[in-house]
Amino acid sequence: MPEINSNIMAKRTANIKRKTRETDIALTIDLDGSGKCSAASGVGFLDHMFEHLARHGMFDLKLTCKGDIHVDDHHTVEDIGIVLGEAICDAIGDKKGIRRYGFASVPMDESLAQVSADLSGRPLLVFNVKFTSRKIGTFDTELVSEFCRALSNHTKMNLHVTVPYGRNSHHIAEAIFKALAKALRVAIERDPRQKDVPSTKGKL
């Protein structure tokens, strides 16, 4: 009988809880889901972006958060990025059999976002984005980079986000999250030809 790669059969799920004086977060993820999302962060725009992450990344996500949004949204958005990164990292496991690299270029009306991801184990964020307004509704646009930085650090990935053009800040942010979802989907995807860790070092 042909050898079966046990890594292909393993479920890739995680359940992470994080409680501080600023936030109380619970998040579950299934990397091989169908795009289902239940998000209740207390930050409406972030919940909307999480729906895009789940749908276009084909993850199943469930998120609840009680944060100090009476102060502002910063702690909530950053800490959710931390928890999501930890969940992805935990669910991937030893990284055997994954593609490792992912790229997506996603248009959203007049805006275009390009995201490259490398699940290298070496976190670094390059964020080349200029928003055209400080806020999207009540949401601070600078929090998109804070979310991406926290996600990069705790997924332990090299993440490059570029928006070469765009006028509407909502469209820019939405294109970023959709491109991020698509890039992560490719990077996390199981490669049937890859039996080991995709690195000449033998470890990521």
pLDDT band per the 50, 70, 90 thresholds, residue 10: confident
Could you report the per-residue pLDDT of 103-146, keeping only the tens digit for each?
999 999 999 999 999 999 999 999 999 999 999 999 999 999 99
Tell if the pTM clears 0.85, that is, is over it: yes
What φ, ψ does residue 199 adopt, rounded to 5°? -160, 145
6 pLDDT more than 90: no
- Inter-residue contact 82 to 143 (CB < 8 Å): no
What φ, ψ does residue 67 adopt, rounded to 5°? -125, 170
Could you report the per-residue pLDDT of 85-106, keeping only the tens digit for each?
999 999 999 999 999 999 999 9
What percentage of the chain exceeds 70 in pLDDT? 96
Topology annotation, domain 10-188: Ribosomal Protein S5; domain 2 (3.30.230)
191 pLDDT more than 90: yes
- Inter-residue contact 143 to 73 (CB < 8 Å): yes
Of how many residues is the chain composed? 204
Half-sphere exposure of 49 (CA within 13 A, CB side): 26
Mean pLDDT (whole number) for 64-81: 97
Region label for 58, one of left (φ > 0), alpha (ψ between -120 and 50) or beta (otherwise): left
Mean pLDDT (whole number) for 44-48: 98
